[in-house]
Amino acid sequence: MLLGTLEAGGTKMVMGLADEKGRIIRSASCKTRLPEDTLPDILTFFQGQRLDALGIATFGPVDLDPQSPSYGNITNTPKLTWRNFPLLNRLREALRVPCAIDTDVNGAVLAEVRLGAAQGLRNVLYITVGTGIGGGLMTEGQLVHGLIHPEWGHIILSRHPQDPLTRGVCPYHDNCAEGFAAGPAMQARWAMPAQDLPGDHRGWEMEAYYLAQICVNALMTVSPQRILLGGGVMHHLDLYPMVRRHVTDLLGGYLSSPALHDMDRFIMPPALYPDSGLVGGALLALLATR
């Protein structure tokens, strides 16, 4: 069986071929440009391949309601040229194979549960922290969609009292997670990108404080068995112990579980990064064949 996978990102598109076990055989990428400029690059990669199915793990927001007339469309994205673009339909019509679509972060959490850092668990949250913040959630073994799909980057947080930013950088909300803790927020706050901050810069402690709030909100609402933190900002590995410490402090001893006594395993890096979304797309393709 040959599966096609597409991790559709706001910055780049990553295309791959995988076997039925989700192992990536070959991959390539291209920059995300205008839809009509980008789509030919995607299709060229898959051209001539005898695909059994295609799985799409995409940036959003995206319409994931199979009963909706706009199912599979990118919707209210800040990338204006991609708004209302029928991504699923265009790829399905061109390749003429069964296709499945979900968010890139749902693809990532699916991959980590089946093949990565959360194997054996049924309730897992994957948070990616980079240019934006997104989250993929699996509850009782099922990917969560709901009314639209969860937007973990736009939950409301408490501002750090020493934050130089009086409001977050999100154009929609003053105090949301993405506005306070994504890469552009760190750039705006410290006048340099996250990767250039010295290891002992106080900005990392502030970042950990915001990420810990996301984790605590998740614990109090959807109660995951494990939280995986990935994305470019998490390349600073010292963030993990900082986040764990802030989570413990913010919980204040309220929740009681053996899992919370081992924070090193409760809040972890993903095992498949940076290919979690690409592998997740392959697993979505496999579901489309059934």
Q: Kindly report the pTM of this predicted structure.
A: 0.95
Rounded Cα distance between 218 and 106, Å, is 15
pLDDT tens digit string along 200-241? Answer: 999 999 999 999 999 999 999 999 999 999 999 999 999 999
Structural domain boundaries in the chain = 3-103, 117-268
pLDDT tens digit string along 151-187? Answer: 999 999 999 999 999 999 999 999 999 999 999 999 9
Who contacts 224 (Cβ-Cβ below 8 Å, separation ≥6)? 123, 124, 125, 137, 218
Residue 50 dihedral angles phi and psi, to the nearest 5°? -90, 75
pLDDT tens digit string along 92-148? Answer: 999 999 999 999 999 999 999 999 999 999 999 999 999 999 999 999 999 999 998
Closest CA to 46 of 26, 31, 32: 26
CATH architecture, domain defined by 3-103: 2-Layer Sandwich (3.30)
Report the chain's C-alpha Rg in angstroms. 19
Domain pair 3-103 / 117-268, same fold: yes
Fold of 117-268: Nucleotidyltransferase; domain 5 (3.30.420)
On the CB side of 22, CA atoms within 13 Å amount to 21
Who contacts 267 (Cβ-Cβ below 8 Å, separation ≥6)? 215, 226, 227, 229, 240, 243, 244, 247
Evaluate whether 257 touches 251 at the Cβ level (below 8 Å): no
Helices (H), the chain: 35-46, 87-95, 104-115, 177-181, 183-190, 202-221, 239-251, 263-266, 276-288
